[in-house]
């Protein structure tokens, strides 16, 4: 599992180095079903996609970029352990 800090010092986890629409939707479905995530916002553009989920009171963002692939992060760094649990589950696909 590749972890890194973004420019806001948030922990991010790379899920895939390619941007597959089908894979993005599989990840989103797992966030909804297995983690009881509720979609807060969907931002879909030409080259990027950000979907925000409320999971256990935390905003978990799945991000897709046509150039770098798919990653996830929590909006604030208060629950990095939850992010790691989610990342490990998603990487089992």
Q: What is the pLDDT of residue 45?
A: 87
Q: What is the pLDDT of residue 75?
A: 86
Q: Going from the N-terminus, what domains does the chain have, and what CATH number goes with each?
A: 2-90 (3.30.160)
Residues of the chain under the 70 pLDDT cut: 19
Instruction: Output the DSSP codes for the chain.
Output: -EEEE-TT--EEEEEESS--HHHHHHHHHHHHHTS--EEEEEEE-SSEEEEEEEETTEEEEEEEETTTEEEEEESSGGGHHHHHHHHHHHTT-
Residue-wise pLDDT for 36-60, tens only, equals 999 999 999 888 999 999 999 999 9
């Amino acid at each position: 599992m590749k972890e890194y800090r973004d420019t806001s010092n948030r922990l991010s986890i790379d899920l895939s180095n390619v941007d597959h629409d089908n894979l993005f939707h599989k990840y989103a479905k797992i966030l909804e079903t297995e983690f009881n995530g509720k979609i807060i916002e969907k931002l879909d553009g030409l080259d990027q996609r950000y979907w925000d989920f409320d999971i256990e009171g935390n905003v978990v963002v799945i991000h897709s970029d046509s150039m770098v692939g798919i990653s996830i992060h929590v909006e604030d760094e208060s629950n990095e352990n939850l992010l790691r649990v989610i990342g490990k589950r998603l990487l089992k696909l």
